[in-house]
Amino acid sequence: MAKLYFRYGAMGSSKTANAIMVQYNYQERGQNALMLKPQLDNRDGGKIVGSRSGLSAPCRFVEELDKIDLKLYDCVIVDEAQFLTKAQVQQLVDIVDQLNIPVICYGLRADFRGELFEGSQWLMAWADTIEEIKTVCWCGRKATMIARIVNGEVVKSGPQIVLGGNESYVSLCRRHWSRGELASEEIRRISTGKDAFLPLLLEADPSEMMIRRYLDDGELYTLNVHGRSACVAVIRRTGGSEWELMNLATAPDMRGKGYGTRIMNHIIKLLAPRCNRLRVGTSPANVGFYERFGFRQDGLRQHFFAENYPNPIYENGQPLDDMIMMSKLL
Ligand SMILES: [Zn+2]
């Protein structure tokens, strides 16, 4: 007999990656698994499910179920199932009970206020099998709650769903969620929603057009202080085992506290196993900073600043022209 499964976990518990792997396993056995998500969730720009790990897969919307010939499928997988309505969960129950097709739902249990989502409520009530996918809080305990963070503060009221806002979410254990306590300092890699960091990235590179050239395929790291991004760095592989630091920016009110140094040390350690040479292009004022990490000047990109930026960039009253190239062997 087919079953309805609800696999729930907090943010960052690899729910979407799990969903994609299950679909892949069906395909490997020569079977079809239908990937669905509620239409409400359009963060990934439409008919695609995407995980933080970078895996993605095409999908259909739950709202289209009536138009899909389910007889062609051996399994139905639903990502972001917390956003289902009660009626849609009922529809999934019918698929299991009437068509004998297993349905596997992945989603969050509760919202940032600690209240059940509609989809999760009915999946909890009706699923045959309920499984938890675990992830950890910054303190190392199991994270069961999600916190909404706006300007570095944990917010516990407001509408359940805000799409495209400037807030971010993090998973916490219940104790730290209750107290609204975020890690005093932690470094995270950001794979989705990089645009939220544009204002900070523009501090170091004043052209959004230039930032767009490396943001998508670059690796973005943020050093968060009590949930707020104090410093960001973007690195990108430029060929073979050579990498380039494309952007390193600290929020204006967070400067002089050593955050830039900490994220640099982190990146150098992180890259060591996969990188022989780390390069950076910079301006005269920052040469001393990079020399402290062992970078040496080894070239110029002539007129780079003058030719690639729509407006002149001034540093200590002088317009920047050549970019100074530095590198460090790892
Ligand atoms: Zn905790």
Q: What is the pLDDT of residues 252-267, one digit of tens each?
A: 999 999 999 999 999 9
pLDDT at 5: 98
Label residue 248 by pLDDT band (50, 70, 90): very high
Task: Spell out the residues 6+ positions from residue 238 whose beta carbon is closer than 8 angstroms to its own.
Answer: 244, 279
Residues 155, 100 share a domain: no
| Interval 216-225 mean pLDDT | 94
**Per residue in 40-72, pLDDT tens?**
755 556 788 887 777 889 999 999 999 999 999
Residues 190, 153 share a domain: no
**Ligand 1 centroid to residue 144 C-alpha, Å:** 10
How many domains are contained in the chain? 3
Strands, DSSP E only, in 90-142? Answer: 103-107, 129-132
**Ligand 1 centroid to residue 8 C-alpha, Å:** 19
pLDDT at 196: 87
**Ligand 1 centroid to residue 136 C-alpha, Å:** 8
Q: Which residue reads 């943020």 in tokens?
A: 222
Residues 127, 196 share a domain: no
**Ligand 1 centroid to residue 118 C-alpha, Å:** 26
Domain limit, last residue, from 132, 167, 194: 132
Label residue 228 by pLDDT band (50, 70, 90): confident
Residues 162, 119 share a domain: no
Side chain identity, residue 86: K
DSSP secondary structure, 268-305, as one string: HHHHGGG-SEEEEEE-GGGHHHHHTTT-EEEEEETTHH
Residues 227, 156 share a domain: no
pLDDT at 51: 77
Tell me how far apart the alpha carbons of residues 232 and 273 are, in angstroms, rounded to a whole number: 21
Residues 226, 312 share a domain: yes
**Ligand 1 centroid to residue 143 C-alpha, Å:** 7
Report the CATH number at residue 107: 3.40.50.300
Name the average pLDDT for the chain. 93
**Ligand 1 centroid to residue 146 C-alpha, Å:** 11
Residues 245, 152 share a domain: no
Catalytic annotation, pick one of 28, 63, 64, 80: 80
Domain-embedded: residue 138: no
Residues 276, 208 share a domain: yes
Q: Is residue 170 predicted with pLDDT exceeding 90?
A: no
Select the more confidently predicted residue: 167 or 182: 182
Q: Which of 21-35, 94-108, 146-160, 208-222 has the lowest mean pLDDT?
A: 146-160
Return the SS3 of 97. helix
**Ligand 1 centroid to residue 178 C-alpha, Å:** 10
Residues 157, 217 share a domain: no
pLDDT at 159: 82
Q: Which of 47-51, 77-81, 110-114, 121-125 has the lowest mean pLDDT?
A: 47-51
Tell me how far apart the alpha carbons of residues 317 and 330 are, in angstroms, rounded to a whole number: 35
Domain-embedded: residue 261: yes
pLDDT at 45: 60
Residues 320, 260 share a domain: yes
Domain-embedded: residue 242: yes
**Which residues have a beta carbon within 5 Å of ligand 1, which is an ion?**
137, 139, 141, 173, 176
Regarding pTM above 0.85, the answer is no
Tell me how far apart the alpha carbons of residues 138 and 156 are, in angstroms, rounded to a whole number: 19
**Ligand 1 centroid to residue 138 C-alpha, Å:** 6
**Ligand 1 centroid to residue 94 C-alpha, Å:** 39
**Per residue in 116-167, pLDDT tens?**
999 999 999 999 999 999 999 999 999 999 999 887 788 888 888 765 556 7
Is 80 in the active site?
yes
Report the CATH number at residue 235: 3.40.630.30
Domain-embedded: residue 137: no
**Per residue in 274-318, pLDDT tens?**
999 999 999 999 999 999 999 999 999 999 999 999 899 999 999
Domain-embedded: residue 306: yes
Domain-embedded: residue 140: no
Residue 165 belongs to what domain range?
Answer: 145-179
Domain-embedded: residue 33: yes
**Ligand 1 centroid to residue 186 C-alpha, Å:** 13
**Ligand 1 centroid to residue 179 C-alpha, Å:** 10
pLDDT at 12: 83
DSSP-derived pairing of the beta strands 145-150 and 168-172: antiparallel
141 within 8 A of 135, measured Cβ to Cβ: no
Residues 171, 228 share a domain: no
Residues 124, 93 share a domain: yes
Domain-embedded: residue 35: yes
